[in-house]
Copies of this chain bind each other. A is one copy, B any other.
Amino acid sequence: LFVRWASPAAPPFEIQVANTADDAALVQRIIAGDTRSVARLISRVEEGNNDNVPVLRELYRRSGSAKIVGISGPPGAGKSTLVDQMIHCYRAKGLRVAVVAVDPSSPFSGGAVLGDRVRMAKHATDRDVFIRSLAARGTLGGVTGATADVLTVLDAAGWDIILLETVGVGQNEVEVMRQVPTVVVVQNPGDGDAVQSVKAGALEIAHVFAVNKADMAGADQVARHLGEMLATRAQAASSDEWKVPVVLTEASTGRGVADLVEAIDRHCESLKLHPGIARREALNRLSARVADLSSRAIRQQLSILTAAAGEMAGKLDDVIERRSDPYSLSQELLSLISQPD
């Protein structure tokens, strides 16, 4: 009942299972790989509009064949140039490549990062390369949820490889990377303190390390230190797990990039050989995504409640004035979301 009183500008989370004809047509165009439809849906996802849910639901069920690879690392590590070289490498194998660049720490910046524009110009004539930077314009959900939805769209649209690049290595970036089965963390020889600056989070999420700018002094040392840190961790962990490789790359010339792509492929193969590990990791990704979706739904209900007048808005005042409590309100909103009729 309450949901029907809501402002029409803010539709409730639950949407009819039966798609409209428009939605069905959009699903078909995206599955057929129509790039303009993909780009348009991604823009809608960025805006955080829940009208997209019926389409995303269909697309999710047709996704799962893309190889999705995360590229993380500190700013200035050369991630963009490395991704550019990876595109060339995958294209040489005849694979179609989509790149999504995300800056979760400044969700409202909205602009394309510089490296993005450089790459766009380079690959503008190649219809088998899709490059997009992602900003969470809407206040609901945030960039983590939007990223998961965008990966679903690109996967269903038939891209063979999807590279997800984040700007930094903070907590938000780690959250984004947790949604991806294979994560490459890029490091630099840097000033010698580079290894000390490997964040615990980076070690935790990395399936492959790339020590980029391998022509610089100290690259071998950084690679050796990383190897030692990883060996210590591997000893502590169970024995048949994936051994995280450290690959030296030189993005400016392309040296080592084929090795990096091969290491990524080996990780994907390893997951196929260890279905128990693959399932456990898929469960973790799924749990995070479902929790994120639910939190998004409740925030939307709350914003409807805040905008509403009369009895509805009174529910919040009841809590503020201690006639009710947040635990009861949470419960009530959850039941409203789950049964809108």
Partner of A293, one of B105, B323, B330: B330
Query: Closest Cβ of chain B: how far from A324's Cβ, in Å?
Result: 8
A91 surroundings in chain B (CB, below 8 A): none
- Determine if B60 and A327 form an interchain contact, defined as CB atoms under 8 angstroms apart: yes
Partner of A63, one of B279, B303, B322, B324: B322
The residues in A between 277 and 305 inclusive whose CB is less than 8 angstroms from any CB of B are: 279, 282-283, 286-287, 289-295, 297-299, 302-303
Complex CA gap A294/B297 in Å reads 9
- Determine if B290 and A14 form an interchain contact, defined as CB atoms under 8 angstroms apart: no
Given contacts A171-B172, A291-B299, contact A338 B334 (CB under 8 A): yes
Complex CA gap A279/B320 in Å reads 8
Q: How large is the interface on A (under 10, 10 to 19, 20 to 34, 35 or more residues)?
A: 35 or more
The dominant DSSP class at the A interface is: helix
- Determine if A327 and B57 form an interchain contact, defined as CB atoms under 8 angstroms apart: yes
The residues in A between 154 and 187 inclusive whose CB is less than 8 angstroms from any CB of B are: 170-172
- Kindly state whether residue A53 has any CB partner on chain B within 8 Å: yes
Q: Mark A4-30, 1 if CB is under 8 A from B, else 0.
A: 000000000010000000000000000
A279 surroundings in chain B (CB, below 8 A): 317, 320
Q: Mark A323-338, 1 if CB is under 8 A from B, else 0.
A: 1111111110111011
- Kindly state whether residue A231 has any CB partner on chain B within 8 Å: no
Given contacts A283-B306, A290-B333, A319-B286, contact A57 B328 (CB under 8 A): yes
- Determine if A286 and B334 form an interchain contact, defined as CB atoms under 8 angstroms apart: no
A60 surroundings in chain B (CB, below 8 A): 322, 325-327
A287 surroundings in chain B (CB, below 8 A): 299, 302-303, 306
Query: Closest Cβ of chain B: how far from A144's Cβ, in Å?
Result: 12
**Top 8 A-B pairs ranked by shortest CB distance?**
A335-B338, A60-B325, A295-B295, A294-B298, A293-B330, A334-B338, A287-B302, A290-B330
